[in-house]
Structure 1
Amino acid sequence: MQDLEANYTPDAASSVSADVSNIVNEPQNITNEPQTFNAEPQTINDLPQTFEREPQTFEREPQSINDETKSISDKAKSISHEPLSINDEPLSISAEPQNINAESQSIVSEPQNAKLFPPLPPLPPLPPTPDPTHQTPPTLPSWHSDLYLEFHRGCYTTHADQKRDNRRAETLLYRAELLTSFATLVASVPYPKVQLEAAWKQVLFNQFHDILPGSSVASVFVDANDAWNQVFADAIFLARGALEAIGQCMLLPPPPHPQAQTVMVFNSLTWERSEIVTVVAQQQPMQSQQDEELNWQVSDLEGQPINLQSCLSTNVPTTSQPKACLVSFLAENIPAIGYRSFWLYPHNQSVQNVPSVTESFVLENEFLRVTINPETGDLSSVLDKVQQREVLNGPGNQLQAFKDSGQYWDAWNIDPNYAQFPLPPAELIHISAIPQVMGTLERCVQVDRTIGQSTFRQTYSLQQGAKMLKMQTRVDWQERHTLVKVSFPLNLEADYATYEIPCGVIQRTTKPETEAEKAQWEVPAMHWADLSDGNYGVSLLNDCKYGYDVKPNQLLLTLLRGAEWPDPDADKGQHFFTYALYPHAGDWKAAQSVKHGYELNMPLMAQVIPANGDDRPQTLPPTASLLDLGADNLVLMAFKQSEDSPDEWILRCYECHGEDAQLTFHSDLGLELGERVDLLERSTDLQTTKGQTATVRPWEIASFRVSSQQSAVSQILNPKLKS
């Protein structure tokens, strides 16, 4: 006996009866035993109706039933247990005898000899195979844009929680897959293939056409949210366990303090970067209430102190509970797909508050000077200090609300005339500078505003060394049939805007002329959209939003909607998201907007590594690049165990600038680049690799086999530490 589990995801157009729901919710048994089927008489009136019809009158001519017809009718009745009926009126089956003449019989038996079916002519020979080098004639039309659906634009935004969870799940699983692969290579940790596959399949299931677009009925999202949370828990657990196993294989120098702990910072992207990270430090339980509360210090492996941003307690220490602190510091020069180690230890330096912002609400670092309007909470100025250029041409980060109603497909569609129905502007209820502790690595201003019954709390954040201004946003959303966008009027004008799409970019006009162009008043994008005039530009990045609206001198991002059908409470509640303004010289390529978009979505991972309790061989250096592609325009998509062999690995990347890329493979683990494979990991006839290099064509998704020799991996040592 085998249990069959049926999975069903209803969309908005589905209507499921109670009987069908029971079938879906309860496993069904399949056996080889004979089954008995009872067929009761049914009428149309017995069936569930989802619409009403006018009564129908059927008039029939009297039928004469001869012996042959009666025989057929009797046979038909013998097949079923009860006579079929419509509205309890018995059906009769009438068949007139047919006379088949000789010519007709000939047609049936030998159609090729019949006059009506002459013999078919032989097929002409196939045309020669086209020459792949032959150029398409210039007279043929071509389409140089996306196949834009002039409908369902609201699906970029509706149920924003599903968009956020999908983006987060994909990035967490990418990182978990990456780290568990390296943990298998360096620490012999079993590769969690079953867990990863189950998590990826759940993500794919939640990308069903009415879940991710936000157009399902309410009950579907209850199950979807449970699934997202399970994926998050599994991905975080696997990544943390893998990073801990890798960290315990490092050979470290003597610590600068008896209570020093190792902090490992991991970079999951294919280029070196620096970023503020935060770890949790725990002091041992106090022996008495008179014991002094300790502060913390971070240093590099040579013992040189690193400037801290904050040292904030998360609880009140007691004699039984340790003190937990959030310690933030600037982790610099973290290698591509690699890590760097630091020391974290307690010290007795006094803590002093450092005023982070003047009363004029100005944020400033070496690249930008940002001024917030204390009356509205909008940006009144963003000065590019390097280019000595004002970025804005009006209030920036302005929240704009519009009435968005009258659409039959409520969750799917935005009112095409929404701009004609603006709602009152956001009202400022509070603005304050956030004081920083022990450092000035990040300056922040917090702004609280309301739209209707909803509250927007935004933190303007400008970090040391950062070229972008972040707006970290928390919303308590309660509006219905309301559309909210954020606007950035710019001090430049461009005919085209560039948008990131999966594994590429697309340009769309900002000055529509054709009907097709005019229909694109709300368009999709992934991590960013960019408006550049060739000499200067601005990118608007996001961590979970998809709907953009770009004018010749304005960038707008759609934040939230308030649809009521098919889910009457769609988007009600708490929302968390971040977007960032990135002014730059040149175009999006020169500004590396692709990299900045990934960095916003995949922050560095920092973790305190406990002492090695598993007696793992300490063979890794304290700083290493586990994987380096050697090209600025290549982005890693996956590094995973091969589906066919546990001793082989699959590397997948894509070219992101529309230019040839020279992949120059390097790994401190001694990995070797192998043959090209397709997405199903099968060998291909494409150009082969030459040693550790390969050419990747513009916008190409390229996959390779990667081999490893455990003996080579196990012998990797830092020469300085080994000596």
Structure 2
Amino acid sequence: MCMKPKVYFVANSHIDPVWLWDKDEGVGVVLETFRRVVEFLKQHEGAVFAASSAQFYKWIEEIDPELFEEIKRLVNDGRWIVVGGWWVEPDCNIPCGESFIRHALYGKKYFKERLGVEVDIGYNIDSFGHSWGLPQVLAKSGYRYYVFMRPNPREKDLPSDVFLWEGPDGSRVLAYRLPTSYSLTGKRIVREVRRLVSSGRRTILILYGSGDHGGGPSKEDLEAIRSLTGEIEVVHADFHAFFREFEDRDLPIVRDELQHHARGCYSALSRIKKLNRRAEISLLEAERYSVMCELLEGSSYPLEELRRAWRRVLFNQFHDILAGTSIPEAYGRVESELGEAMSIAQDVKLRSLRLVSRRIETLGRGIPVVVFNSLPWRRVVPVEVELSWGVEKPVVAVDEKGCLVPSQEVQPSSLVGRGRVRLLFLAELPPMGYRVYWLKPGDVDSDSDLHVADNTLENSRLLVGFDSGGKLFKLELKKLAWNALSSTAGRVVYRDESDTWSHGVEKYDEIIGEFEVLEWRIVERGPVRASIEVESRYGSSKLLETYRVYTGMPYVEVVADLDWREKHKLLKLHFPVNVSGPRAFYGIQFGVIERPCNGMEEPSQGWIDVEDGELSRGLALLVDYKYSFSIEGSTIGVTVARSPIYAHHDPYRPSGALRYRYQDQGSQEFAYILYPHVGGWSASRIPVLYEEILFKPHVLLEYPHKGELPATYSLLEVGESSVLLTALKKAESGKGYIARLFEPLGKEQWTTLKIHATGQEIRARLSPFELKSLLVRPEIPLVTEVNLMECSTT
């Protein structure tokens, strides 16, 4: 006898807390929907309901504690299923990898403490694509399963609805792509079930209930399901029962990212993406410096303060917020909350650094400046400090031995006189620590490898050249006499009539113009930095780019100030790379992925590399706050501005009789680095260089005073390797510290974590792209490996 197809039915109500409405309305939708669902479950004994997002439950606990208690009873009865376990359902392309970890850490902690639930079902059903780095985060956070819907079958071919999803490091979760909408209701349930059964599927899970603006399941939905009982085996059960059907099967393995859907979301509303990244970095720095302060100065780590800030950031990584697809009125609140998180982080950071610096011996030699490094390796880096200077003689910098360090005065930020000067100097910093420099009157050492002419910038490693029209045409790696550019770089404008998401768009390919250079001029001549400024225009838009070369540095830095006034257009910076047989590599969360050089718009965590597979050389582009890239042949493109209408969704078309608000209008600043290199991305340590772009030194002007701490000190270092430290924080238990290591180069590495403040030294092996979290307790010599939830792995 032929068995009927088995269909699992789970009620749900996908809720966008912000989208075509603001957060105020979104909170009301959550409250109303959850109340309605509780009544539904009381009236219909067989049904089960699933809901994600710790933030939703926290709102209910705070606003309607009686409703929260009813939900808790339903959870205990197995009728209300907590899924996801993250703070919200975020965008899964733009947040940094550590943000994904914090979604799980704070979300799962909340559900465990408040509802007694250990969530193991990952759940991002509406996110616009899923980074290949997610399987490792999920598996090491205690997840066994992952449920998603996008990309749909037209956008991404998968071997089956259920498969093993394997990340770059080899971590796996059992994944299920919903074969139809997560918001099926009424007769549509019947139509979709029959369609799926007729396609040959024998075991299916269906989510039903109205969503986006809440709503949930209804009596009519259950009647529609009952009408199918003669055709299928109807099962009302949670996701675990469904996944158990597949656990013993020989399932296909997908070793790939789950892309693409809505490629315009990689670039839409760049100011929110910039605020998000600034908040992420500010919090990670605040954690590191708080650990430094607690170990060196004894002040308590502000655990709850930083948790609160992280929760603000995590909420605003919700996919319709961070992707840039919500209404303009919603973003004022978003900016305030991300600003609040940054303010908390910056206050914590400043307090920590000031508490440390007051204990450093800073007497003698001049005005003391303490330069802090949050990265766990030694680095030589240009830093700037501005101060009041009432002396005619130039200001110079010296180290603790009295030795002059390379420096030059640059333009101060103010134009009010009062003797303000700004000094740029090269700081050689110890791993995760600080070094004191002193500023005093002196004669500048002008000896340098920098040379600047009307159309060239040069140091001992690079020659940067501009043609007669002011366009960049030469980026020569001197030791190879190789120009990394095959032709001039461009500032190219594309037509973009697509909606906010760029639905149906795989690549932007209609070029309609280019910024024309108006003028260029030399603005700095060394000895630390030489710069040429290039001003260009397109229509009503202006772009000011400052190309900078530093003494001894292997890259050119470009600082850009864009005033964008275009509508339904897109600006890409083009860099044609002088390689044959190009290969393209993109940095992603906890990994690197190679993609075809086909011009398609792709997400990245800020860097891409185009290299010559045979000659082993290439050009890397590293950008802060930009996430959308393309590589056509050997030409790198980075999307820096895009101006669709806010919250415009196909097939609806703009009316000529109405006014609309457009994204990315006005001024924005960003910076990028062009790094020509010998060897591939891994041998050239591109991910390590990108860390140095993100985590800049912090400079404090001090006053001369006694102290028990030396003029230079290293708290911690990761030695003998290129292993990254993605987090250094207090453990959530309040006992000990979490040091999280990541292998970024795709090869096995041994590393030594040396904690100078406690005298501990840990030797660790990391496999390619492996995340490893260590619990360090100063009072216990033994270091414990823990998972991402900070629980022991043994």
TM value normalised by structure 1: 0.70
**Aligned in 2, Cα 1:30/1:561: closer, same or farther, shift over 3 Å?**
closer
Distance 2:23 2:343 in 1: 33
State the match for 1:255 in structure 2: 364
Q: Within 2, Cα distance between the matches of 1:629 and 1:425?
A: 45
For residue 669 of structure 1, give the secondary structure of its aligned residue in structure 2: coil
Amino acid at match of 1:299: V
Q: Say yes or no: does 1:410 pair with 2:500.
A: yes
Deviations 1:446-483 (A, max 9, x none): 11111221111111111111111111111111111101
- Give the corresponding residue for 1:424: 513
Could you tell me which residue of structure 2 aligns to residue 468 of structure 1? 555
Displacement after TM superposition at 1:670 (Å): 2.1
Match of 2:405 among 299, 306, 310: 306
Deviation at 1:251, TM superposition (A): 3.6
- Structure 1 residues 465 and 17, CA, compared in 2 at 3 Å: closer, same or farther? closer
Aligned counterpart, 1:546: 627
CA contact (8 A) 1:299 1:306 kept: yes
Number of residue pairs matched?
549
Once the two structures are superposed, the pairs formed by residues 260-659 of structure 1 within 5 Å of their partners are 260-283=366-389, 293=392, 295-310=394-409, 312-315=411-414, 323-332=419-428, 334-345=429-440, 347=441, 359-375=453-469, 377-396=470-489, 398-405=490-497, 407=498, 409-413=499-503, 415-416=505-506, 418-419=508-509, 421-436=510-525, 439-510=526-597, 521-534=600-613, 535-566=616-647, 568-611=661-704, 618-646=707-735, 648-659=736-747
Q: Secondary structure at the match of 1:266?
A: strand
Contact 1:271 1:632 in 2 (8 A): no
Q: Structure 1 residues 710 and 440 mapped into 2: Cα distance closer, same or farther (>3 Å)?
A: farther
Q: Decide whether aligned partners of structure 1 residues 299 and 12 sit closer, same or farther in structure 2, where only a CA change above 3 A counts.
A: same
Structure label with greater radius of gyration: 1
Q: Deviations over 1:520-573 (max 9, x none)?
A: 711111121111123111111111111111133221111111111327231111
| AA of the residue aligned to 2:637 | L
SS at match of 2:322: coil
Please tell me whether the aligned partners of residues 298 and 306 of structure 1 are also in contact (alpha carbons under 8 angstroms): yes
- Secondary structure of the residue that 2:346 maps to in structure 1? helix
Q: CA deviation at 1:317?
A: 7.4
> Which SS does the other structure have where 2:609 is aligned?
strand
Q: What is the CA-CA distance between 1:413 and the residue it aligns to?
A: 3.7
Once residues 24 and 356 of structure 2 are traced to their aligned partners in structure 1, the CA distance between those partners, rounded to angstroms, is: 51
Paired position in structure 1 for 2:277: 167
Hey, what's the Cα distance between the residues in 1 that align with 2:630 and 2:16? 36
1:590 deviates by: 1.1
1:353 to partner: Cα distance: 14
Note closer, same or farther for the CA distance 1:8–1:548 as it changes in structure 2 (3 Å cut).
closer
Offset at residue 14 of structure 1 (A):
8.6
**1:19 Cα deviation (Å)?**
13
Once the two structures are TM-superposed, the CA of residue 349 in structure 1 deviates from its matched residue by 5.2
CA gap of 1:663–1:536, structure 2 versus 1, over 3 A, is: same
**Residue 239 (str. 1) matches residue 349 (str. 2):** yes
**Partner Cα distance (2:642, 2:504) in 1:** 9
| Partner SS state of residue 755, structure 2 | coil
2:325 counterpart SS class: coil
Are 2:751 and 1:663 aligned? yes
Going from structure 1 to structure 2, the CA distance change for 1:330 and 1:655 (only over 3 Å counts) comes to: same
* Alpha-carbon separation, structure 2, partners of 1:501 and 1:594: 10
Distance 1:601 1:465, change over 3 A: same
Determine the C-alpha separation between the residues in 2 that align with 1:450 and 1:629: 46
Gaps of 5+ in 2: 1-14, 33-58, 67-243, 649-660, 782-794
Cα deviations by residue, 1:590-619 (Å, 9 ceiling, x for unpaired): 11111111112222222212355xx9xx33
Q: Write the mapping of 1:183-198 to structure 2, written as runs, cut at 5 A.
A: 183-198=293-308
How far apart, in 1, do the equivalents of 2:280 and 2:744 lie?
19
Matched residue, 2:214: none
Q: CA deviation at 1:180?
A: 1.0
**Does residue 1:203 correspond to 2:313, yes or no?**
yes
* Distance change (3 Å), C-alpha of 1:422 and 1:314: closer
Structure 1 CA distance, aligned partners of 2:367 and 2:752? 35
SS in 1 for 2:567: coil
1-structure distance, mates of 2:458, 2:444: 26
Where do residues 123-134 of structure 1 align in structure 2 (5 Å cutoff)?
Answer: none
Q: Secondary structure at the match of 1:702?
A: strand
How many angstroms apart in 1 are the aligned matches of 2:26 and 2:406? 64
Counterpart secondary structure, 1:666 = strand
Separation in 2 of the partners of 1:442 and 1:19? Answer: 51
Which range moves more in the overlay, 477-486 or 356-365? 356-365
Distance apart, 1:336 and its partner CA: 1.7
Normalized against structure 2, the TM-score is what? 0.64
CA distance in 1, matches of 2:460, 2:26: 65
**Is the CA contact 1:357–1:445 (under 8 Å) kept in the aligned structure 2?**
no
- Offset of 1:314 from its aligned partner? 4.8
Partner of 1:145: 256
For the structure 1 residues 531 and 26, does the alpha-carbon distance in structure 2 shift closer, same or farther, using more than 3 Å as the test? closer
Q: Which moved more, 1:623-632 or 1:585-594?
A: 623-632
| CA deviations over 1:377-432 (Å, ceiling 9, x no partner) | 32121111111111111112x11111110x3x43444745741x321221222211
Label 1:434 to 1:180 Cα distance change in 2 as closer, same or farther (>3 A). same
State the SS of the aligned residue for 1:493.
coil
1: CA distance between counterparts of 2:466 and 2:711?
42
Quickly say closer, same or farther: Cα 1:418–1:594, change in 2 above 3 A: closer
CA shift, 1:668, in A, is: 2.1
**Aligned-pair distance for 1:215?**
0.6
- Alpha-carbon RMSD: 3.5
Judged with a 3 Å threshold, the aligned counterparts in structure 2 of structure 1 residues 710 and 293 are, in CA distance, closer, same or farther, namely farther
SS of 2:268's partner is coil
Which structure carries more helix by proportion? Answer: 2
Contact 1:495 1:509 in 2 (8 A): no
Match for 1:330: what amino acid? L
Deviations 1:257-292 (A, max 9, x none): xxx2221112212221111101122247xxxxxxx6
Shift of residue 179, structure 1, vs aligned partner: 0.4
Rounded to whole Å, the distance in 2 between the matches of 1:329 and 1:710 is 41
CA contact (8 A) 2:682 2:746 kept: no
Matched with 2:778 is 708
Separation of aligned partners in 2, 1:600 and 1:19:
38
Shift of 1:660: 2.0
For residues 161 and 579 of structure 1, the distance between their equivalents in structure 2, rounded to whole angstroms, comes to 16
Q: Which residue of 1 aligns with 2:288?
A: 178
- CA shift digits 1:193-241 (9 cap, x unpaired): 1221111111101101111111110011111111222222222222122
Equivalent residue runs for 1:51-62 within 5 Å: none
Q: 1:504 to 1:440 in 2, by over 3 A?
A: same
Change in 2 beyond 3 A, CA 1:268/1:219:
same
Partner of 2:327: 217
Instruction: Give the partner amino acid of 1:585.
Output: V
Amino acid at match of 1:698: P
